[in-house]
Amino acid sequence: MTASTDVILLRGGRVIDPVNGVDGVCDLLLADGRIKAVAPSGTIADLPAETKVYELAGKLVCPGFIDMHVHLREPGEEYKETIETGSRAAAAGGFTAVACMPNTKPVNDNLAVTSLILAKAALAGLARVYPVGAISKTSQGESLAEFGEMRQAGVVAVTDDGLPVNNSQLMRRALEYAGSHGLLVISHAEEMALSRNGVMNDGALATRLGLRGIPGAAEEIMVYRDLALAGYTKRPIHIAHVSTRESVSLIRRAKEKGIRVTAETAPHYFTLTEEAVDNYNTRAKMNPPLRTADDVAAICAGLHDGTLDAIATDHAPHSELEKEVEFDLAANGIIGLETAVPLALALVRQGKIDIGRLVELMSVNPAHILGVVGGSLAEGGVADVTVIDPEKKFVFKEEDIHSKSKNSPFLGSQLQGKAVLTIMGGRVTYGDGI
């Protein structure tokens, strides 16, 4: 990343830095890619002449948001997204870092693909991109990918995301072997025998639409299996995209028992229900599928009480080609980077979580889980900062999207709260009218 960074003063915003117990109006001085000073507003003196000053009264100044679950599609499906366009979408959504899943073409199951991703990310220079490697070679679920070499090349975790690891012995060995290389294992929890050919949540709506359902049990069975394996191997496991009430309660109980589990959910799982797919709306088709209002309530409770550790978007770009088809044939997934902040802020406005908890979920915890920089605004730390205007209202429009793909069920929705300034390594990667 570029060495020459400006001196930046973020003045008068409400600084929310849970790790350091800060929640109040402060000034933040950034220089040389680091946080130089955090001090009561107006007290930082002797600013260099070239200091760029941002007046942030009424804005929220947070440690840079980290999205630990995105699909950047490069290499292989650059017509949907590239590392550059995905990084730009991340910056525009208020993210300073993303962890990209390995289901590219070819799969990121070796150091060559890992190195390519990192090289492209450095070239774009808009976000820290942390590649996640595959658990199994080509994610076929048969033999372990080369964790050691991928770790050396720069992966931060392993997963076969997009697919579950069906073979329990392989999952056990992955947990054990990942421990030898200091890698986190991320579980895409899905029992394929139950979910196969399913395209939405199982239930009355699926029956009415004549669509094959995916029962919540398809997720919960695998969540339980992976919790059992994590307990048995005494290794940490991270559960991706939790969508059901029972998954939340399984994770809650596992945490009580001391199993080393962390978990994420996505904004769509606490915002939308299966009703969004009515009228065969392929823009709301995803895996795991949108569930019921009861599941949404449990997800919100899990975000509040610490059962769920992170909000990650599962940003999954697809072109119109994959979505303008029969519902059965449409691709799973939605873009999420540019709607996560307003959707999460809605939880704060609804009183379901407070703003400090939001920063934990979107910055502090992802940094800790992945073992990467950020998550804090301590002096001396990396100058990764997300500035949010919590009042800003906007209609989410196709022409405003930075991602290459536009597949979002929130198109046309009135949203409130937006990242207005994103700073990564002391450099402004996104600024909106500020």
Q: Tally the C-alpha atoms within 13 A of residue 377's C-alpha that lie toward its C-beta.
A: 30
CA 412 to chain centre: 22
Taking CB within 5 to 8 Å according to partner kind, which of Zn ion, other proteins, none is near residue 8? none
Q: Which two tokens stand for residue 113?
A: 């693909």
Q: 50 vs 326, which CB is nearer to other proteins?
A: 326
Q: 188 vs 323, which CB is nearer to other proteins?
A: 323
Q: Which of 130, 177, 224, 327 binds other proteins (CB under 8 A)?
A: 327
Positions in 126-165 near Zn ion (CB under 5 A): 161
Q: Which stretch binds other proteins (CB under 8 A): 177-185, 209-217, 364-372, 423-431?
A: 209-217
Provide the strand spans (E) within 134-245: 157-158, 184-187, 200-201, 213-214, 237-239
Least spacing, CB of residue 195 vs Zn ion, in Å: 12
Least spacing, CB of residue 211 vs other proteins, in Å: 5
Is 226 labeled as catalytic in the residue annotation?
no
Q: 1 vs 321, which CB is nearer to other proteins?
A: 321
Q: 3-state DSSP call for residue 166?
A: coil
Spatial separation of the C-alpha atoms in residues 345 and 156, rounded to whole Å: 28
Least spacing, CB of residue 195 vs other proteins, in Å: 13
Q: Does 384 bind Zn ion (CB under 5 A)?
A: no
DSSP string, 277-292: GGGG-GGG--SSPP--
* Residues recorded for the chain: 434
Q: Does 293 bind other proteins (CB under 8 A)?
A: no
Spatial separation of the C-alpha atoms in residues 86 and 137, rounded to whole Å: 25
Least spacing, CB of residue 161 vs Zn ion, in Å: 4
The CA-based angle 420-87-385, given to 5 degrees, is: 40
Q: Which stretch binds other proteins (CB under 8 A): 118-126, 132-140, 320-328, 361-369?
A: 320-328
Q: Which of 140, 207, 350, 414 binds other proteins (CB under 8 A)?
A: 207
Q: Give me the catalytic one of 314, 389, 400, 432.
A: 314
Closest-approach residue to Zn ion (CB):
188
Least spacing, CB of residue 192 vs Zn ion, in Å: 13
User: What CA–CA distances, in Å, run from 266 to 115, 204, 293?
Assistant: 28, 24, 15
Q: Does 50 bind other proteins (CB under 8 A)?
A: no
CB atoms within 10 A of CB 160: 29
Q: Which residues contact 411 (CB under 8 A, 6 or more apart)?
A: 283, 396, 397, 398
Widest pairwise Cα distance in the chain: 69
Q: Which of 36, 128, 188, 402 binds Zn ion (CB under 5 A)?
A: 188
Q: Does 71 bind Zn ion (CB under 5 A)?
A: no
Task: Determine the size of the site formed for other proteins (CB under 8 A).
Answer: 20
Q: 206 vs 223, which CB is nearer to other proteins?
A: 206
* Residue 151 identity: R
Question: Which residues of this chain interact with Zn ion, rule CB under 5 A?
Answer: 161, 188
Q: Would you please indicate which residues are annotated as catalytic (active-site) residues? A: 314
